[in-house]
């Protein structure tokens, strides 16, 4: 006689389940995802998506990661996608299940992350009647996705999934939503095949490179006396080939290079040409170099407001070359001299060839680097470690030393801790830095780290968060335990919504209106209740040992670090304001003749 467990295992046998499944819309969708190369799904079930989950039961080709909130499902899919370059996939139900994904979809849209969200919907006859858990998912998602549509024909499911995956990954990547009514999930598919061709379309046509524009760009770079390379998240999205080509061009020209928040890692931080991050919280040398440049080569970035500051005074004397896959990003904010539209990898390879064919260069950059070295000497990120309190800068620098050489993946939430991480952590490779840039989403960090850990089970994955941000999706501590994901969470705990408080000090007369997060929980007790290892540290002398315990633990570990309450994240400066805001107080002024 079979034991209860043996009987249960027999019922759950993947092969018997898969063989017995009828060909339905739900089955067709799963087969199409597999044929598109999908291996992992992040999701949360509900009534309107149960046929899809029933088809998923016993499906040996797909791993499902059950999260605790639909917003977290999208952020986890983002972490998976950003750390791999692959498509992140999400399953949710209708109504609140779908609406809970909107923040994540916005985040993916802003940061160009390829996510495919499959949202259940009530049966087709009830759409528009105000049925239980019904909403217009397609309409709601339209402003925060590249494309959204409803699956209405079960025979068209595979083709629509193929288009959705291609749309999410193609061009400037981003999120796509497919609404899947329950009756279409259950409907039989007349012409269904389990073969890969059901989900593969024709390959993309080879890009036609704009040769004249590439030659013009090469000539500008070769003749520049004060060039700067400026890279963004598009470089990382384009892949390792793009980052390698970018690095070769920087080294070939001998020019300085700066990266945006989303571009960190595209050029190794240890490269002598790297000036650090630019923008509002960037280094003085990066912003001043951008301000005084005569040629700027922008690759995969979009001149956003956190980088430019005052547009009227942004890099006023620079000729600008802009490489971007999104035509709408060209000349949107900053008028450029040489636009190059296409994939970064192809364009950078073409630019290398154009420079091989063009005049010898670049010009002598000795005077330019001498000026940059004087700006570096200001040491704008310098701090003095304290003996009685842990400074957040000290925390980040100590963490950086401990993860060096371990190929760690770092995620963050949003706020001061995010900027301190960007300033003090050195990223040597792309796809190792996961953060919310365009949307600035508190609650991103923990689920993104979980998604990255799913994709990279053997890597050290660390989430750095703040005491306000971490509570946005703290329930995902449970997801880590259920799925045995050994993520490390390091909390920079100052008892405030730190960036909000900082802005209130600078712009609102230090009136701390609702930015003090009173009644914080005992984070160690909370983490242990979820099954995490946990510790709190308050003494600077204990910090190295506590970090070592956290990073070397076998399972998930939550380290609550009490940091100085009123530390601020400086410099708060962008390139367009560099002359007035930095040079006003600089001890060494820029050479007038340049």
The CA distance from 260 to 304, in Å, is 10
Q: Where are the alpha helices (DSSP H) in 152-283?
A: 157-169, 182-186, 211-223, 233-238, 240-253
Q: What is the dihedral of CA 404, 409, 415, 419, to 10 degrees?
A: 40
> How many Å separate Cα 25 from the centre of its chain?
32
59 with 30: CB under 8 angstroms? yes
Which tokens go with 251? 């080294």
Which tokens go with 69? 């909130």
3-state secondary structure of 258: strand
Catalytic: which of 109, 277, 499, 557? 499
> How many Å separate Cα 505 from the centre of its chain?
29
262 assigned to active site: no
Q: Which residue, 414, 400, 355, is CA-closest to 544?
A: 400
182 assigned to active site: yes
68 with 97: CB under 8 angstroms? no
The CA distance from 90 to 254, in Å, is 44
Catalytic: which of 132, 212, 335, 357? 132
The CA distance from 85 to 78, in Å, is 10
199 with 158: CB under 8 angstroms? yes
Catalytic: which of 182, 320, 376, 488? 182
Where does residue 584 rank: exposed (0-12), middle (13-18), buried (19+ CB within 10 A)? exposed
CA–CA distance from 37 to each of 87, 89, 292, 465 (Å)? 9, 11, 47, 32
416 assigned to active site: no
136 with 95: CB under 8 angstroms? no
Q: Quickly count helices (H) and strands (E) in the chain.
A: 25, 18
70 assigned to active site: yes
The angle, 0 to 180 degrees and rounded to 10, between the axes of the packed helices 445-455 and 70-84 is 50
Backbone angles phi, psi at 148, to 5 degrees: -145, 145
Neighbours of 6 (CB within 10 A): 10
Q: Where are the alpha helices (DSSP H) in 415-568?
A: 416-424, 445-455, 477-482, 498-507, 523-530, 543-552
> How many Å separate Cα 592 from the centre of its chain?
40
Which string of DSSP letters, residue by residue, matches 368-402?
Answer: HHHHHHHHHTT-TT-----SSSB-HHHHHHHHHHH
Backbone angles phi, psi at 299, to 5 degrees: -125, 115
The CA distance from 289 to 208, in Å, is 33
3-state secondary structure of 500: helix
Which string of DSSP letters, residue by residue, matches 8-75?
Answer: HHHHT-HHHHHHH---BHHHHHHHHHHHTT--EEEE---GGGHHHHHHHTT-TT-EEEE-SSHHHHHH
Catalytic: which of 39, 133, 152, 475? 133
Q: Which residues are catalytic?
A: 70, 132-133, 182, 499
């Amino acid at each position: 006689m079979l034991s209860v467990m043996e009987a249960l295992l027999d019922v759950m046998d993947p092969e018997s389940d898969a063989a017995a499944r009828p060909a339905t819309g739900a089955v067709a969708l799963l087969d199409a995802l597999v044929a598109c190369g999908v291996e992992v799904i992040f999701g949360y079930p509900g009534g309107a998506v149960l046929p899809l989950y029933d088809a998923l039961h016993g499906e040996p080709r797909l791993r499902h990661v059950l999260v605790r909130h639909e917003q977290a499902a999208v952020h986890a899919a983002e972490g998976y996608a950003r750390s791999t370059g692959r498509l992140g996939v999400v399953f949710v139900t209708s109504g609140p299940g779908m609406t809970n994904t909107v923040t994540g979809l916005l985040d993916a849209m802003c940061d160009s992350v390829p996510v495919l969200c499959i949202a259940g919907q009530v049966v087709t006859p009830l759409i528009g009647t105000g049925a239980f858990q019904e909403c217009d998912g397609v309409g709601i998602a339209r402003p925060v996705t590249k494309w959204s549509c409803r699956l209405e024909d079960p025979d068209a499911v595979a083709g629509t999934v193929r288009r959705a995956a291609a749309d999410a990954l193609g061009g400037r990547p981003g999120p796509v939503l497919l609404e899947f009514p329950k009756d279409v999930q259950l409907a039989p598919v007349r012409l269904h095949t389990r073969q890969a061709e059901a989900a593969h379309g024709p390959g993309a046509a080879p890009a036609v490179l704009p040769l004249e524009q590439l030659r013009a760009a090469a000539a500008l770079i070769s003749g520049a006396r004060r060039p700067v390379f400026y890279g963004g998240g598009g470089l990382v999205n384009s892949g390792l080939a793009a980052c390698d080509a970018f690095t070769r061009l920087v080294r070939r020209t001998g020019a300085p290079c700066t990266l945006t928040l989303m571009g960190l890692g595209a050029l190794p931080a240890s490269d002598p040409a790297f000036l650090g991050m630019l923008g509002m919280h960037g280094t003085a040398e990066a912003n001043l170099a951008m301000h005084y440049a005569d040629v700027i080569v922008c690759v995969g970035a979009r001149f956003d407001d956190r980088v430019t500051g005052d547009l009227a005074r942004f890099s006023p004397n620079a000729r600008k070359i802009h490489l971007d896959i999104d035509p709408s990003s060209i000349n949107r904010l900053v008028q450029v001299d040489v636009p190059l539209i296409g994939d970064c990898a192809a364009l950078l390879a073409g630019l290398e060839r154009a420079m091989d064919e063009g005049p010898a260069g670049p010009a002598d950059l000795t005077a330019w680097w001498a000026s940059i070295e004087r700006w570096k000497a200001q040491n704008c990120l310098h701090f003095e470690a304290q003996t009685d309190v842990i400074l957040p800068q000290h925390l980040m620098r100590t963490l950086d030393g401990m993860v060096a050489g371990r190929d760690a993946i770092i995620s963050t939430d949003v706020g001061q801790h995010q900027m301190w991480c960007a300033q003090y952590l050195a990223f040597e490779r792309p796809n190792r830095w996961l953060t919310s840039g365009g949307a600035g989403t508190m609650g991103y960090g923990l689920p993104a780290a979980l998604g990255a850990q799913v994709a990279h089970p053997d890597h050290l994955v660390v989430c750095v968060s703040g005491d306000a941000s971490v509570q946005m999706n703290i329930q995902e501590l449970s997801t880590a335990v259920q799925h045995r994901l050994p993520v490390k969470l390091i909390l920079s705990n100052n008892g405030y919504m730190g960036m909000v408080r900082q802005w209130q000090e600078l712009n609102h007369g230090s009136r701390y209106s609702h930015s003090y997060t009173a009644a914080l929980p005992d984070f160690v007790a909370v983490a242990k209740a979820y099954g995490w290892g946990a510790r709190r540290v308050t003494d600077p002398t204990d910090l190295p040992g506590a970090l070592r315990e956290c990073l070397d633990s076998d399972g998930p570990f939550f380290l609550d670090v009490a940091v100085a309450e009123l530390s601020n994240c400086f410099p708060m400066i962008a390139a367009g304001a560099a002359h007035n805001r930095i040079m006003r107080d600089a001890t060494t002024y820029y050479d007038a003749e340049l």
